[in-house]
Structures are given as C-alpha cells and as structure tokens.
Amino acid sequence: MKKGRLFAVYIIAVLAAILLSMGSVSAAANDSMDTSAKAYKCLEDQISTKGASALSLQEAVFSMLALGSKSGLSDKIESEKGASCWPKSGCTIRDSAQVLLAYQRAGKGTGEIEKWLETKNATPTELKWLLEIDITNGVSANCTINDGTKENKIKILDTMRLQGSPGSCMVIDPSGFMLRINSNCMGTQFTISCDADFVTTMLYQRGTGGTVFVPSETHSAAASGTTTERPNAKCFKTASTCDYEGTLWAALALQKLGKDVSEYMPYLLALAPDNPRYFPETFLYILGGGEEQYSSIVQNQKQGKYWEQAGTPYGKFYDTALALMSLSGKSSAEYDNAKNYLSSVQTKDGCWNNNNIKDTAFLLYGGWQKSASTEAKAAPSCTGSGFSCENLYDCVNANGTVQYGYECLGAGLSCCSVKVAQQTCTQKGGMVCTIEQTCDGRLESASDGSCCLGGACIAAVSPITETCGGAGGICKDSCESNEEYLSVETCGQATQICCRTKAGSLMWLWIILLIILIALVVLGIIYRDKVKIWWFKFKEKFKKKPAQPPAGGLPAARILPPGMARPPMVGAPRPPMGYPMRPMPAPARAVPPRQPTAKDREMEETLKKIKEIGKK
C-alpha cells in the first residue's frame, strides 16, 4: 500500500514538473515577441474568447480599426445599425463617424453614412465673425462692400479706424478697426474693393470679447481690385445643438475619405478651450493644425509616459492612443517614451488595461498600425506609389497636395505629393531638451525631436512628496479592474500610479458580510435546541470539579526525601518532647446519604438526554 502511494506521489510530481516546464517555455516564447505582436495576438485571442457577437459596438468598431475586416466584426457592427447610423437604440454623431472610419479602414462602402452625416450639418451659433480690411501703405482710403443686394461705402482713416455705414449685414466693431458680421448674414459672400492697395481676411471668436482667431488665409488686391470673403463655419448637430466630440470624429473620418473639412475647423478651434476633456489638440493637429497644437500635445504628457486629460471620459489609455495617433511619423521623445511605457505595462497576455479590448485596439491603431485585411481591394500604398506620408500641416506648408485614395500606416498621416524636408532643431535656432528638462518657451517639431524655441531647456521640477497613501490608495504599476486611478495623487516612484479600491467594491464586501451574518442567525433559530445543548456542554466543560477524597478516607502517605528513613512505628504515636499530650479524637459517625432533590433529578434527566444525543 505504501509503495502504491509513493508511486502516485511520484507520478503527480512528474506531471507537475512537465506542466511547469511547458508554462516556462510558453512564457519565454511570449516574452520574445515584441510589444505589437503580443498585443495583436492578445486582441485576437480576447475577441475569439468573448465571441464577436458578444462585443459591444465600441469594442467591435475599434477592433476593426486595428485589425480590419476580421471574421464576425462586420456582422456585429451591422447588427447595431439604425437608419444608416449607429447605434440603432439612438444614433449619435460620434459612433456613426467611428463606424465610417472603421469601414474606410476595412474597405467597406461608406456612402450611406456620409449622406446621413450631411443631414446633420449645422451653422454654429457660438461663433462671431469679423471682417478686417487693411490698407497696405497705411494711408486713408475709400472702400465699397457688396453683400449681393446692395453696395455699401465706408472710409478707412490713416489710423486704420473705420467710418461710414457698412449696410444691414455688418456693424462697425466697438474697437473701431473691424466690421462685425450679423448672424442673419452667415454664409453671405462679400465683395470688397478699395481705391488703394489692400488686404482682407475673415476673423472669428468664441462669443463676444473672446480670443480672436486669425486664419492663415488672406486675400490681397491692388487699388480698384476686388477680394471676396465669406464667413463660413459648420458643425455636426445632435438635435438642434452642435456636438463637439461628434464633430471631431466626423471631421477626422471625412478627411480620411478625401473630403475638405476646413469649414469645420473654425468651430473646432474656437470651442477647443471649452472641451479639453476630449483632447481636441490631437484631432486638430491631424486635421491641419500647426505648431500650437503640437506643443500642447507634447507638453501635456504625464510623467514623460502617457497622456490623461482632466475630466477625461475614457481614461489614460484612450487619451494616450489619441496622442500617438496624432504624433505618428514624428521624431519626438514624447512619442518614443509613451511607447516604451506601454511596453512595460502590458498584461501577461499582451493587452492593456486588464485586457480591455477597446483600449488595446485603439492603442494598436494609434501607435502600431499595420496594413489591415479588407473586404474590398486594398488601397495602394502611398510610399509605394512614389508619394510620402506626412502630417497635413507639414504637407501644405511644403507646397504639397494631399493624394487621396492611398494608404499611409499612421492614423495621423496623409499621403502627400512631396516629401517634406523637415529642418533640424539647430537649423530652426532651438534646442532639444533631455527627458530631465522642460522647455519654458514653445515646442515645435523638428527632424531630431521636439525643438524648444523662444526659451531654454530648464531642469524639470522634482516630483512632489507621495500623497497616494494619505488618500487611501496604493502605488502600483497598474490598477486592477476593481480599482480606480487617482490622477491627482502622486507616488514616490515615477514608474507607479496611485490606485484605490472602488467604493462599489467595498460596498459589496459589506453586503457579503451582512448576508453571512443573516444566514448564521437563521441557522441559529432553526437549530436552537441543538445550540442550547451544545452551549450547555460547552459551559460544563469549564466548570470546576470538587476535590475527591483519597481512597479509604485516609490521607495519602507522605513521601520522604531520598535517604531519609521512616521512624519505626511502636505502639501509639507519641508527640514530640516538650509538647502536651492531646486526646485522640472520637471515631467519626456514619453520615446518612443525602436524598436527591428535584433539581438533581432534573440535571440527571438532562445528562441522559445528552448521552442519547451523543450516541446518535
């Protein structure tokens, strides 16, 4: 029998060793894979395990952005379709635009979605438009403004102040230097002519008295020549209100299809300060924004690792994906540092954020995009066709034109007719700051990284004292699914973040404890008789038993120390010398036995019951 047990133990040990070695080999193989390979494999495994039909709409859409038209994703997205929009439970601009972007990536038809978005175009009422007319030589001049119905005359003094009546569509701004367009004339084309060389441009601002945005496009003419200006801005509306987040995604998707989205830029630029939680700079930089947006993106990086906007509705992995998407193709330390950080916080399976499908897919699309499998014929490669994948702003500044219908591996890149020869930071007259430094000027992109201009590289501020513990959190590399990330709290180690158990998790713990206590009380009521008997036995065990006299009624013999002889016993014992003789006590009388009382009989009956229960 012993030999059989030993053999069984031996077999179990051998099997355990084999399984452990297999796990080690598997782990080693997984570690040898690079970040993107592990993440793509993990994403496909998660989709396969969960099943495409069980994915949420967002999970399916972002998975298609990363993987293209994989099996089941198209069917899942189509099952959520409403009237050419998504989701069917209540169409939104954001979701429909994201589906449009995913379908374009997978080579699926997008005509119906485009038509639906066109029905959602609106004129933003939040913007106020201004017409500026500058006389080139700084002299006074007479100008006419034709609004299509009437020609109106104004005079521009040598101080650049305006005089006269500009007509029913305009009023002279309180500053006296510009003309303010009335809201009833939005979209009207104005023809301007002056008797001296002049320049015109349309300006806009968020409300009255807000920041004035100056477009890069201006128009000039010689004396008696003409220029045309038209205040034009669009947004995508939900009901009767402009939807800022939806407009960001819709403009991005339409640009990928080769549509001109410049008319959405005024609304998106002017309203950006009101919507920082959506990280608008990332979209704006892709759509044609300039160095201002680039500088804002790189300076918003947290701890030189990731991005997380204040009040973000989607979390740091989503925001980091947006930043990677906008900086794709750029030589910047911020871009490289973020990818290194993401490599260090992958789960053991290779995904991110506790194997979150949406976040993992979006990070792959933003930072590790590869050619997607499509249902239709794949778009030709931009670089393979003799063009160059560039940021739109850089392409336009280099006098290039966007070549639509070609694929660029980089969500923020467009196919450009020319290769942009970007200057080095030294050529721009700036310096590249190290990771331990920050720029106290403005940052611009350069061929060798983020270039500090108009300032100097200064030592980065030392991290503040750890505050995570005081807020009830724990510093960790990443938070678990039942924990929340405390972005305002700090950790001693720069590589860690502050995590705290969600309030809901603690509540469940208390609920479970309460259920256990209720169950114990119910069991106590049901088995109360047995509990009483158990309690009685428990108390009896600790009662002090009375001392029993020795057998025969005589005191026990005294034990003498070794070597001491007992004195001989001759006759009656005598007292020691010098002490008086005491009389012998009279023999004790027999005491009659005590009669049992009613209490004794009750105790005897109880003990009998206990014995019977014990036998059972």
Indicate if 116 and 255 belong to the same structural domain: yes
pLDDT digits (tens, 9 = 90+) for 279-318: 999 999 999 888 899 999 999 999 889 999 999 999 999 9
Range of the domain at 40: 35-122+236-367
Categorize the per-residue pLDDT at 545 as very low, low, confident or very high, splitting at 50, 70 and 90.
low
Q: Which among 103-112, 556-565, 579-588 has the top mean pLDDT?
A: 103-112
Q: What percent of the chain shows pLDDT beyond 70?
A: 79
Indicate if 325 and 467 belong to the same structural domain: no
Q: For residue 85, is it within any domain?
A: yes
Domain end point (choices 482, 517, 552) = 517
pLDDT digits (tens, 9 = 90+) for 423-447: 899 988 899 988 778 888 888 888 8
pLDDT, residue 41, reads 95
Indicate if 402 and 349 belong to the same structural domain: no
pLDDT, residue 217, reads 83
Q: For residue 540, is it within any domain?
A: no
DSSP alpha helix (H) spans, 195-332: 244-256, 265-271, 280-287, 291-299, 316-327
Q: Which residues pair with 414 in a beta bridge?
A: 390
Instruction: Extract the tokens encoding 229.
Output: 């200006």
Looking at residue 315, which CATH number applies to its domain?
Answer: 1.50.10.20
pLDDT, residue 574, reads 52
Indicate if 50 and 144 belong to the same structural domain: no
pLDDT(211) > 80:
yes
- Decide: helix, strand or coil at residue 474: strand
pLDDT, residue 436, reads 79
Average pLDDT, the chain: 82
pLDDT(374) > 70:
no
For residues 4 and 177, the model is more confident at 177
pLDDT digits (tens, 9 = 90+) for 19-55: 444 443 344 334 435 899 999 999 999 999 999 999 9
Categorize the per-residue pLDDT at 554 as very low, low, confident or very high, splitting at 50, 70 and 90.
very low
Q: For residue 551, is it within any domain?
A: no
pLDDT(616) > 60:
no
- What are the φ and ψ backbone dihedral angles of 166, each rounded to 5 degrees? -80, 0
Indicate if 146 and 203 belong to the same structural domain: yes
In the chain, the number of structural domains is: 5
Indicate if 292 and 191 belong to the same structural domain: no
Categorize the per-residue pLDDT at 8 as very low, low, confident or very high, splitting at 50, 70 and 90.
very low
Cβ distance 358 to 59 under 8 Å?
yes
Indicate if 282 and 159 belong to the same structural domain: no
Which residues, 6 or more positions from 257, have their beta carbon under 8 angstroms from its beta carbon?
100, 104, 110, 114, 404
DSSP 154-197: EEE-TTS-EEE---TTEEE-TTSSSEEEPGGGTT--EEEEESS-
Q: For residue 196, is it within any domain?
A: yes
Indicate if 253 and 354 belong to the same structural domain: yes
Indicate if 288 and 330 belong to the same structural domain: yes
pLDDT, residue 445, reads 85
Q: For residue 586, is it within any domain?
A: no
Categorize the per-residue pLDDT at 505 as very low, low, confident or very high, splitting at 50, 70 and 90.
low
pLDDT, residue 210, reads 74
pLDDT digits (tens, 9 = 90+) for 580-614: 555 555 555 555 666 666 666 766 776 677 666 65
Q: For residue 48, is it within any domain?
A: yes
Categorize the per-residue pLDDT at 74 as very low, low, confident or very high, splitting at 50, 70 and 90.
very high
For residues 384 and 26, the model is more confident at 384
pLDDT(159) > 80:
yes
What is the average pLDDT across 265-271? 95
Rounded CA-CA distance 99/484 in Å is: 29
What is the average pLDDT across 347-374? 91
pLDDT(13) > 70:
no
- What are the φ and ψ backbone dihedral angles of 32, each rounded to 5 degrees? -75, -15
pTM of the model: 0.69
pLDDT(528) > 90:
no
pLDDT(17) > 50:
no
Categorize the per-residue pLDDT at 226 as very low, low, confident or very high, splitting at 50, 70 and 90.
very high
Indicate if 73 and 113 belong to the same structural domain: yes
Domain end point (choices 203, 232, 261) = 232
pLDDT(555) > 60:
no
pLDDT(517) > 50:
yes
Categorize the per-residue pLDDT at 276 as very low, low, confident or very high, splitting at 50, 70 and 90.
very high
Rounded CA-CA distance 446/430 in Å is: 10
Indicate if 241 and 228 belong to the same structural domain: no
Q: For residue 579, is it within any domain?
A: no
Q: For residue 262, is it within any domain?
A: yes
Indicate if 262 and 117 belong to the same structural domain: yes
